[in-house]
Structure 1
Amino acid sequence: MSNQQSKPRESLLRYWTTRYLLALCVGLLIIAFFSVLWIRHTTVENRLNIMELMAEEIADRFVEMSEGKPIPKGDVPGYLNDRGRFMDLESDPLISIVDTYGNTLTTNRPQDRMLQFSEVLLNEDKTVQELNNDATKEAFYVVKVPITYQDAPVGWVVMLESKANLAEVNQEYRLLAMMIIGLALIGWAAIYFLSKRLSKPIQEVAEAAREIQAGNYQIDLKDSYQEQELYELVHSFKEMSKRLEKLETLRTELLAGVTHELKTPVTSIDGLLQAVHEGVVEGEEAKEFIKLSILETEKMKKMVEDLLAFNTYATNVMPVQLQEYEINQLIKESVYQWEITHEVSEDFQLVVYQASTPLFVHIDQIRLQQILINLLNNAFQAMDGKGKIEVKIDTGPKNISIKVNDSGKGIPDEEVPYIFERFFRGQEKKLRVRGLGLGLPFSKLIAQSMNGDLILVKTSECGTEFMIELPYQKHSFRKD
């Protein structure tokens, strides 16, 4: 662990530019190597073709000059000395006029006038031949063209040049080197600016993360990037920072809320018992005060139980007892139990829509009833006890759904993303209903523990609909 911490870190810009430049240089060197081989090969072939054409031209010119007479010995005519410049060679090749026996009659190099060519070499069918000098280990190319008069050979035009001279193309190598270096610089510059464009938003996100770590959630990140991945990174980070800021606010409110919610019953109990203890109230009134103290104690006990139960489910240590139940009957019983414990007015209506056929699912009966009762309580409070609640059992290809729809005021849009956050309570609910804000998060955990889920389907000024999903198969439903 210490070795990993002490290992120096490289910036993304340096990491990519250096490695890309290295890979680019290696690739360009390989390309340059094969390009040099190809240039040398094609240059040698082209110059050999030019030498062959020159030899044929010289042979035709000598036929015209001699008109069939023996070719005199002496210096090569002046025009032969200028032929090398047309070949674009670093040095002039040896040009010799030889007789049919291989004896040199004339040449462009007087010092090589006594040069003797083998008859075997001259009689070879190949116009272009490659020879090796055993003494110097140097390779040469020989180009020979016969001099004929009236279809009879009268001599040979022989051109001789080393392979190294034929392959010499310094200017082309310079151009190739300039091109390779130019490509390397352009490639490096391109990857530098692209890496800089990539690393800049990442660096900004890293700096913003340090700000959040320090407790500052007011960050400003530009999310106008055209690249999809960069946009998603920055946008997701901004959303995460907003959510963390909201959760931090919720945590602060939680401390105040839990303190307030627990302090209120404690204060009430203390005042009631003090009145009884000091004799402020006596007889039936004292009994009433004690009864109120017990009720406040039960409320406080319920809050503590909710905290303990939620923590147990959140840490996945509470087992769920899954058994097979018929869902229609179970929902009917749960709704009935809720109705008999609530005083409802004539303006309130509760309707249950059951499936047309019996549906058996593996669930924890008590836990499912707990979710349903919590949803019914929330719906009843949202309508102030006046309106209509519908409970509908529906089925899909792979699941069964229990929908609870109310005709209340709905949930404000700004509160919708947080309704399943632990300890979150809407502004209106804080003023009217005591609690810790664990009802919906706790219900969602219970549903997920039964391989299902609790989902907010829709909410508006006309009402809200929640849905409990459980695995099952498709059936139709009918009104109960």
Structure 2
Amino acid sequence: MRIRSSIFTKLFSTYVLSSIAAFLIFSTVLYVLFQQDLKGDFLSTLHAQHEQVERTLQLAYEEGQNKEAIISTLGFNNDNSHKNIYLYGENGELLHLFSDSEEPLHIEQEFIEQALSGNPVNEFVNEKGHRIFLMVSPIESNTLVEFQEKVLVIALHGYDSVAKSIKGMFMLAGLITTIVATCFLFLVSKKLSAPLQTMNVVAMEYARGNFDRKVKVAGDDEIGQLGETLNHMASELASLDNMRKEFVANVSHDMRSPLTSINGFVGAMLDGTIPQQDQKRYLHLMKDETERLIKLVNDLLDIARIEAGQVSIQPQNYNISEQIRKLMAKLEPQLTKQKLEIEIQSNQDDDLYVFADKDRFDQVLGNLIENAVHFSPQKGIVTVRVLGIGREVSISIEDQGPGIPREELSHIWDRFFKVDKARSQKVGTGIGLSIVKHIIDLHGARIDVESEVGNGTTFSITLPMASKIAKE
């Protein structure tokens, strides 16, 4: 079974390991520096002792003291139990030893010979597991009297005890620092990971379809921004989910109504309920319902292909004015039924040509003009303007319908969105305008909408004008 590591565990472990590593490096460097400083202190002490021995010997020889007096004076000066003094003659023989230790320290003959040649030795030696600092240096006489003593050896035994006490202090300080730092880092890690853990729980709720929960944002840092992003995502998902539910209901209704009508008409014809002379009229009704179903299915297929990125355009130069006239002709029966008028206005004497995908723009203009016709009241007017402005062509479709509330204008391009929430009119499924917007975006063109409740709606499209050579 794999154990999942939480963000808190990762943060806490990273912080603690980093802190321990930094402390170890710091302690090691500090301890090395301390050892160097301690060695310097020991060396200063030994140099002072060396000078003291030289002065004692000089006074003793100047005053003509005998050997016993000299030894007595040197022994009196050696008042430190952690220090041993050795005096050697010019042949390397041991002349005097001043030590409180039961067993005197063995001094390497190599050190004595090196000092006799004028090269002092300062170094640590190991003696029965203890480090002892040795200073082996020649004795110089500043008087006319020649000293018998030629080499002074001073051994300090206290280095290990001092180093161990300092090492213990370092370890105690490190232990206390580690405990305090661990507690502090625990709290910091908890504080940093708590919002992320909360976001994880909330995100799981979003995955289950519950978009009501929100993340409490308590700052403007990256975590706070992530919380705001999650809240915004929840709002968008909730909106999309509502539209999806409405879309399913709308599609179900739009498919059930014509299917029910067709089924009823076919059943009535089969059992002879509809007279022979009326069957043609009912067949036309069935054809209209079938066309509604075909348009619905085509819209669904188009939006699915658009979302899958499978829709492409193939622009060409063509006559946009002629295309609009053909669309008007197709809508003639519906215009007559609703007693509507369509006006085509242009600021050019000749037809206008554009550079666009003719088939896709036939779909765009068909959607927009059909919407204008459906939403316009009886005896109303639908105005289509085709204007040449510089090197662009502007096409606007204006109706006299109920208009769109200002707060809903920004949502009309969303999938499944319908202004007519009550479905008082059997018009569309809320994906027609979404298809229009996607096709316009693929062309790199622009579409604008202006609407006022009670005063109709105007959609305006701007396309590049075709070149004159292409038009000819």
TM-score by length of 1: 0.70
| 1:285-317: CA deviation from partner (whole Å, max 9, x where unpaired) | 776555444433432332233334444554566
In the TM superposition, what is the alpha-carbon distance from 1:446 to its structure 2 partner? 4.6
How far apart are the structure 2 equivalents of 1:316 and 1:114? 91
Runs of 5+ consecutive residues of structure 2 not aligned to the other structure: 468-472
Residue in 2 that maps onto 1:10 = 5
Corresponding residue of 1:56: 51
Alignment of structure 1 residues 218-233 onto 2, 5 Å: 218-228=212-222, 230-233=223-226
- 1:169 equivalenced with 2:169 (yes/no): no
Aligned to 2:71: 74
Quote the Cα distance in structure 2 between the aligned partners of 1:15 and 1:467.
55
| SS of residue in 1 equivalent to 2:154 | strand
| Pairing 1:253–2:251 present | no
* SS in structure 1 at match of 2:72: coil
Q: Percent identity?
A: 19
User: CA 1:10/1:464 → structure 2, altered by over 3 Å: closer, same or farther?
Assistant: farther
- The superposition leaves residues 72-125 of structure 1 with CA deviations (integer Å, 9 ceiling, x where unpaired) of 33334576244x4xxxxxx62213456666653563549789999886344333
Of the candidates 86, 91, 94, which is equivalent to residue 84 of structure 2?
94
After TM superposition, the structure 1 = structure 2 runs for residues 75-224 of structure 1, keeping only pairs within 5 Å, are 75-76=72-73, 80-82=77-79, 84=80, 92-96=82-86, 103-105=94-96, 107=98, 109=100, 120-130=113-123, 141-144=134-137, 146=139, 148-150=141-143, 154=147, 155=149, 158-161=152-155, 165=159, 168-224=162-218
Whether 1:236 and 2:229 are equivalent positions in the alignment is yes
Cα 1:424/1:171, change in 2 over 3 Å? same
> Given the alignment, which residue of 257, 268, 287 partners 1:264?
257
- The 5 A counterparts of 1:405-416 are 409=403, 412-414=406-408, 416=410
Query: CA distance change for structure 1 residues 134 and 290 in 2, over 3 Å: closer, same or farther?
Result: closer
What is the CA-CA distance between 1:428 and the residue it aligns to? Answer: 6.3
Aligned 1:261-410 pairs, distance under 5 A:
261-266=254-259, 288=281, 290-315=283-308, 323=314, 325-326=316-317, 329-340=318-329, 341=331, 350=345, 364-378=357-371, 409=403
State the shift of 1:28 in Å: 4.0
Structure 1 residue matching 2:240: 3-state secondary structure: helix
For 1:249, give the aligned amino acid.
N
Letter in 1 for 2:325: Y
- Separation (CA, whole Å) in 2 of partners of 1:278 and 1:128: 130
Tell me the distance in 2 between the aligned counterparts of 1:183 and 1:393. 80
Normalized against structure 2, the TM-score is what? 0.71
- Structure 2 residue matching 1:416: 3-state secondary structure: helix
Distance of 1:474 and 1:188 partners within structure 2: 73
Q: Structure 1 residues 324, 452: closer, same or farther in 2, change over 3 A?
A: closer
**Paired amino acid for 1:171:** S
Partner Cα separation in structure 1 for residue 137 and residue 466 of structure 2: 94
1:315–1:231 Cα change, 3 Å: same
* 1:129 Cα offset (Å): 3.5
The alpha-carbon distance between structure 1 residues 43 and 110, as it changes in their structure 2 partners (threshold 3 A), is closer
1:386-431 per-position Cα deviation (integer Å, ceiling 9, x unaligned)? 68766678999xxx9977586984564356346332x321236943
Q: What RMSD, in angstroms, separates the aligned Cα atoms of the two structures?
A: 5.0
CA distance change for structure 1 residues 140 and 295 in 2, over 3 Å: closer, same or farther?
closer
Q: CA deviation at 1:188?
A: 3.2
CA contact (8 A) 1:310 1:442 kept: yes
Residue by residue, what CA displacement relative to the aligned partner does 1:149-185 show, whole Å, maximum 9, x if unpaired?
Answer: 3376634672422688368412321232234334433
**C-alpha displacement at 1:56, in angstroms?**
1.8
Which range is displaced more, 366-375 or 100-109? 100-109
Rounded Cα–Cα distance in structure 1 between residues aligned with 2:319 and 2:157: 99
Checking the alignment, whether the CA contact within 8 Å between 2:56 and 2:74 is kept in structure 1 is no
Quickly say closer, same or farther: Cα 1:48–1:231, change in 2 above 3 A. Answer: same
Contact 1:352/1:391 (<8 A) preserved: yes
Residue identity matched to 2:113: V
Work out the CA distance in 2 between the residues paired with 1:169 and 1:137.
Answer: 11
1:388–1:407: 8 Å Cα contact kept in structure 2? yes
Structure 2 vs 1, CA of residues 383 and 185 (structure 1 numbering), >3 Å: closer, same or farther?
farther
Indicate the residue corresponding to 1:88 in structure 2.
none
SS in structure 2 of the partner of residue 236 of structure 1: helix
CA drift at 1:231: 2.2
CA 157–50 in structure 1, closer or farther in 2 if over 3 Å, else same:
farther
Q: Distance in 2 between matches of 1:243 and 1:12?
A: 27
Shift of 1:13: 1.5
CA distance in 1, matches of 2:151, 2:393: 101
Q: Distance in 1 between matches of 2:449 and 2:178?
A: 59
Identify if the C-alpha distance between structure 1 residues 210 and 190 changes in structure 2 by more than 3 Å, giving closer, same or farther: same
Return the alpha-carbon distance in structure 2 between the equivalents of residues 459 and 145 of structure 1: 107
Equivalent position amino acid for 1:439 in 2: G
- Cα offset, 1:222, TM superposition: 0.4
Q: Residue 101 and residue 333 in structure 1: after superposition, are their counterparts in 2 closer, same or farther (change >3 A)?
A: same
Decide whether aligned partners of structure 1 residues 195 and 460 sit closer, same or farther in structure 2, where only a CA change above 3 A counts. farther
Instruction: Give distance in 1, aligned partners of 2:393 and 2:120.
Output: 93
Q: CA deviation at 1:51?
A: 1.4
- Name the stretch that deviates more: 270-279 or 184-193: 270-279
Change (3 A) 1:176 1:393: farther
Q: Distance in 2 between matches of 1:383 and 1:79?
A: 125
Q: Which runs of no fewer than 5 residues in structure 1 stay unpaired?
A: 1-5, 85-90, 476-480
Q: 1:28 to 1:406 in 2, by over 3 A?
A: farther
Secondary structure of residue in 2 paired with 1:437 = coil
AA paired with 2:70? K
Give 1:219 deviation, angstroms: 0.8
Deviation (angstroms), 1:439 = 0.7
Q: Which amino acid aligns with 2:233?
A: M
